[in-house]
């Protein structure tokens, strides 16, 4: 059974998180008793920390001098000509470590330090979030332990080596399918044992409240910059469309944050259809998911009839999460966002197209957003801002295998 989410003319509801961490029916904090105190401490302090001028100063100084922000908003002329509109790329690929994930890792570790924590744990699938976290821990002299499924350790050797070089301990997880979901379970187990000293850095807009909102606010620097950069180029501070890919939802949440309730801006999200949404091998959570609870949050989730989590598949390691953030489930269900399912092949083609038209090799995740452009009809004067979430170095083997000879 497929969900059919089409963009309706105007969403009736305002999208916002409530005090319990709900976006409409999605979200909340479904956690074991033993984690209650840690999650609750984070819930009562995160807004205050984020709004403290001293925190903001330190965070933004690091974003500027260490991460390399603001990232450019680049008018991609040849790509625009091909799609018959004006396409701007928000260049998150130019951040230190090559993607948007560092924005969140630095912010959460600063908050952890402020709360007196001395130890950081994280889970990672492809290793991108693990590398971002290990990087920020080296910078801020924090102990770092990264849980990673043994299967992923085997297939992401370069990221494992980077994390170890940065001083992190990488713990291979041998339970379950030995992938991301199992690494999350192991990280939660660790957090339960060390609640006083340890902060758990979640890498996307998933998990129990307040994580989805915390991560969205830390990534919102992306849309704050778009709002500052666009007037100098277009004479207005909003695009007609925002386009981004969705794994757990952090780069897209950051891209839409300042425009969430601005009806002038249409939102297009690209999720991973893998080998096709009917193939049984996909990560198209929003198209295929049903309401369920995963990792502490009520959201759309790929599951069997009796509620077992279905292992997701995408050629792109950063998009194969079986759930999706509650904000995104809400944006889809309410009609605020149009959600397109993009196959591996469509993403590969779009990656090669950007490489050849603009001289930019995108991450395979970001290529899903690029492929969504080809499924839309834009007007000649319309302004589209697309979040180029990361660079393609890590995907070069995949690209070379698929290059037409």
Ligand X SMILES: *Cc1c(COP(=O)(O)O)cnc(C)c1O
Pick from 95, 97, 128, 179: which binds ligand X (CB under 6 A)? 128
State which residue, 135 or 204, has the beta carbon closest to ligand X: 204
Of 160-168, 242-250, 286-294, 374-382, which part binds ligand X (CB under 6 A)?
Answer: 242-250
Q: Give least dist CB 116 to ligand X, A.
A: 28
State which residue, 86 or 126, has the beta carbon closest to ligand X: 126
Phi, psi of 396 (to 5 degrees): -60, -40
User: Does position 312 bind ligand X by CB under 6 A?
Assistant: no
Q: Name beta bridge partners: 340.
A: 270
Identify whether the C-beta of residue 352 lies closer than 8 Å to the C-beta of residue 370: no
Site string for ligand X, 168-207 (x = CB under 6 A): ------------------------------------x---
State which residue, 86 or 244, has the beta carbon closest to ligand X: 244
Q: Which residues have CB under 8 Å from 122's CB, separation 6+?
A: 105, 129, 130, 133, 144, 145, 146, 147, 187, 200, 201, 202, 203
Q: Give least dist CB 364 to ligand X, A.
A: 8
**E strand intervals along 196-305:** 198-201, 241-245, 266-274, 290-294, 297-301
Q: Give the residue numbers marked as catalytic.
A: 101, 123, 389
Q: Give least dist CB 13 to ligand X, A.
A: 23
Residues 79-118 that bind ligand X (CB under 6 A): 99, 101
Separation CA 369–CA 236 (nearest Å) = 23
Phi, psi of 81 (to 5 degrees): -60, -40
Separation CA 157–CA 155 (nearest Å) = 6
Separation CA 103–CA 117 (nearest Å) = 19
Q: 383: part of which helix (H) or strand (E)?
A: strand 383-388
Pick from 248, 312, 322, 323: which binds ligand X (CB under 6 A)? 248
Identify whether the C-beta of residue 319 lies closer than 8 Å to the C-beta of residue 390: no
Residues 363-402 that bind ligand X (CB under 6 A): 363, 365-366, 389-390
Q: What is the CA radius of gyration of the chain?
A: 20
User: Does position 265 bind ligand X by CB under 6 A?
Assistant: no
Identify whether the C-beta of residue 372 lies closer than 8 Å to the C-beta of residue 228: no
State which residue, 247 or 312, has the beta carbon closest to ligand X: 247
User: Does position 246 bind ligand X by CB under 6 A?
Assistant: yes
> Which single residue brings its beta carbon nearest to ligand X?
390
Q: Give least dist CB 278 to ligand X, A.
A: 23
Number of amino acids touching ligand X (CB under 6 A): 18
- How many CB atoms sit inside 10 A of residue 279's CB? 12
Of 274-282, 334-342, 361-369, 370-378, which part binds ligand X (CB under 6 A)?
Answer: 361-369
Catalog residues that contact ligand X under the rule CB under 6 A. 99, 101, 128, 204, 245-251, 318-319, 363, 365-366, 389-390
């Amino acid at each position: 059974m497929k969900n059919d989410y089409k963009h309706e003319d105007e969403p009736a509801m305002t999208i916002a998180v409530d005090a319990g961490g709900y976006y409409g029916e999605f979200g909340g904090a479904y956690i074991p008793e033993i984690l209650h105190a840690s999650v609750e401490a984070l819930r009562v302090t995160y807004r205050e920390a984020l709004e403290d001028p001293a925190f903001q100063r330190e965070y933004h100084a690091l974003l500027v001098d260490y991460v390399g922000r603001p990232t450019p908003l680049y008018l991609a002329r040849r790509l625009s000509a091909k799609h018959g509109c004006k396409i701007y790329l928000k260049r998150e690929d130019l951040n230190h470590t090559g993607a948007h994930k560092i924005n969140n890792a630095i912010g959460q570790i600063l908050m952890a330090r402020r709360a007196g924590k001395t130890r950081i744990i994280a889970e990672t699938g492809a290793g991108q979030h693990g590398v971002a976290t290990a990087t920020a821990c080296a910078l801020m002299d924090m102990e770092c332990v990264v849980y990673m499924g043994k299967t992923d350790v085997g297939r992401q050797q370069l990221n494992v080596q980077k994390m170890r070089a940065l001083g992190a301990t990488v713990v291979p997880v041998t339970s379950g399918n030995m992938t991301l979901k199992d690494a999350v379970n192991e990280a939660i187990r660790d957090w339960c044992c060390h609640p006083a000293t340890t902060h758990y850095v979640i890498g996307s807009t998933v998990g129990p409240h307040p994580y989805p909102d915390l991560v969205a606010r830390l990534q919102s620097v992306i849309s704050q910059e778009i709002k500052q950069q666009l007037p100098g180029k277009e004479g207005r501070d909003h695009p007609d469309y925002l386009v981004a890919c969705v794994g757990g939802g952090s780069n897209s949440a950051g891209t839409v944050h300042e425009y969430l309730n601005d009806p002038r801006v249409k939102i297009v999200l690209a999720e991973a259809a893998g080998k096709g949404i009917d193939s049984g091998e996909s990560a198209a959570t929003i198209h295929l998911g049903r309401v369920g609870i995963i990792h502490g949050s009520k959201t759309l989730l790929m599951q069997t009839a009796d509620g077992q989590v279905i292992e997701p598949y995408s050629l792109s390691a950063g998009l194969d999460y079986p759930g999706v953030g509650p904000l995104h489930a809400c944006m889809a269900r309410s009609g605020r966002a149009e959600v397109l399912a993009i196959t591996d092949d469509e993403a590969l083609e779009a990656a090669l197209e950007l490489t050849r038209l603009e001289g930019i090799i995108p991450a395979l995740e970001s290529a899903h957003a690029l492929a969504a452009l080809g499924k839309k009809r834009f007007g000649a004067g319309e302004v589209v801002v697309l979040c180029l979430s990361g660079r393609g170095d890590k995907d070069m083997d995949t690209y070379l295998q698929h290059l037409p000879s």
